[in-house]
């Protein structure tokens, strides 16, 4: 649903001489070992942070996607004129996701372009993650993903996870495809990667990992979307919105956790757009909402 090709302003700025905020020469410290096995995503050792592009689009209308920096690294990024969209720790690194252009969509959505993730040690920039110039998706935000990993989400109007970033030892960073399974509740609850799958396929994948559907409320009208989904056997549908992106919500459970799943679109068998696992009391630490 990306309406504009994502432009990596950060790298372009370096190449054409946009003013940069110096950090320190790469030769002063051991160089990072970086790699990416995701074709659209690149990670590059860098020690300078260029100023943001002069045109930020509709940033003021998309303020709900911009966060107030909590780290010194995040404040450094904001001072350079970028919009900070997320902060997270991974091993020794402080990650800051930031973007340069915003376009408002419908139903409170926004498209985020010219997105990047800076990896800092303290206040010192060590590397930047960005999407290739010909990529259809830009980076929107970064969230924690385990002890030494991060998950990169795209900046589409309906965001989806793009790739995972892993810290490899003391000096390694790697971009890898999305993990097929995510662990919650101290590893006792496993959730399969069901993003983009139809709800009927997703519920089967969840069932195989021990998740049971929670029967939803009876539909208010026999011709409603909820009634149609129940007719297909999706008894766990809770509610569907009648406007906008056509979201529907569903509930599942395991002894130690509950799972809320959301689909998008008005298809008979809509596709998964997000999920949110929550540990029951005593079942472990609640994860960050996806």
Looking at the structure, tell me whether residues 203 and 148 fall in a common domain.
no
Contact 131, 40 (CB under 8 A): yes
pLDDT in the model for residue 282: 60
Looking at the structure, tell me whether residues 165 and 246 fall in a common domain.
no
pLDDT in the model for residue 13: 35
Looking at the structure, tell me whether residues 172 and 206 fall in a common domain.
no
pLDDT in the model for residue 28: 54
Class of residue 110 by CB neighbours under 10 A (exposed 0-12, middle 13-18, buried 19+): buried
Q: Which of 146, 179, 212 is the last residue of a domain?
A: 179
Tens digit of each residue's pLDDT (9 = 90 or more) over 123-175: 999 999 999 988 999 999 999 987 789 999 999 999 999 999 999 887 789 99
pLDDT in the model for residue 153: 96
Mean pLDDT of each 10-residue bin along the chain, 290 residues long: 39 33 47 91 90 88 96 96 96 95 92 95 94 92 89 94 90 92 91 95 97 95 94 96 88 96 95 93 48
Contact 134, 121 (CB under 8 A): no
Tens digit of each residue's pLDDT (9 = 90 or more) over 53-64: 888 899 999 999
- The DSSP element (H or E) to which 72 belongs, if any, is helix 72-79
Structure pTM? 0.80
Joined tokens for residue 12? 């372009």
pLDDT in the model for residue 31: 78
Looking at the structure, tell me whether residues 37 and 116 fall in a common domain.
yes
Looking at the structure, tell me whether residues 63 and 175 fall in a common domain.
yes
Looking at the structure, tell me whether residues 152 and 224 fall in a common domain.
no
CA pair distance 6, 44, nearest whole angstrom: 18
Looking at the structure, tell me whether residues 188 and 98 fall in a common domain.
no
Q: Which of 153, 179, 205 is the last residue of a domain?
A: 179
pLDDT in the model for residue 6: 37
pLDDT in the model for residue 58: 94
Q: Is 287 within the bounds of a domain? A: no
pLDDT in the model for residue 264: 94
Q: Look at the chain and report how many structural domains it folds into.
A: 2
pLDDT in the model for residue 226: 96
pLDDT in the model for residue 27: 46
Owning domain of residue 89: 9-179
Looking at the structure, tell me whether residues 140 and 119 fall in a common domain.
yes
Q: Which of 123, 156, 179 is the last residue of a domain?
A: 179
């Amino acid at each position: 649903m990306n309406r504009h090709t994502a432009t990596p302003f950060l790298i372009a700025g370096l190449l054409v001489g946009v003013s940069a905020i110096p950090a320190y020469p790469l030769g002063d410290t051991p160089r990072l070992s970086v790699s990416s096995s995701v074709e659209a995503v690149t990670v590059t050792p860098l020690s300078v942070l260029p100023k943001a592009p002069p045109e930020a689009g509709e940033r003021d209308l998309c303020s709900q996607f911009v966060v107030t920096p909590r780290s010194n690294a995040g404040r450094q990024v904001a001072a350079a004129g970028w919009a900070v969209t997320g902060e997270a720790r991974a091993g020794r690194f402080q990650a800051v996701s930031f973007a340069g252009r915003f376009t408002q969509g419908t139903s409170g959505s926004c498209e985020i372009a010219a997105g990047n993730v800076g990896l800092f040690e303290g206040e010192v920039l060590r590397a930047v993650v960005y999407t290739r110039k010909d990529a259809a998706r830009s980076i929107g935000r970064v969230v924690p993903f385990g002890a030494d990993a991060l998950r990169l989400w795209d900046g589409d109007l309906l965001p989806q996870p793009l790739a995972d970033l892993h810290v490899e030892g003391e000096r390694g960073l790697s971009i890898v495809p999305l993990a097929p399974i995510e662990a919650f509740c101290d590893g006792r609850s496993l959730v399969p990667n069901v993003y983009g799958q139809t709800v009927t396929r997703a519920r089967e994948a969840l069932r195989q990992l021990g998740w049971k559907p929670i029967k939803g409320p009876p539909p208010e009208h026999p011709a409603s979307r909820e009634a149609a989904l129940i007719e297909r056997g999706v008894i766990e549908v809770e509610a569907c919105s009648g406007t906008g992106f056509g979201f529907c919500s569903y509930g599942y459970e395991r002894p130690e956790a509950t799972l809320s799943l959301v689909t998008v679109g008005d298809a008979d068998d809509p596709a998964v757009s997000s999920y949110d696992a929550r540990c029951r009391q005593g079942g472990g630490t609640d994860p960050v909402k996806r």
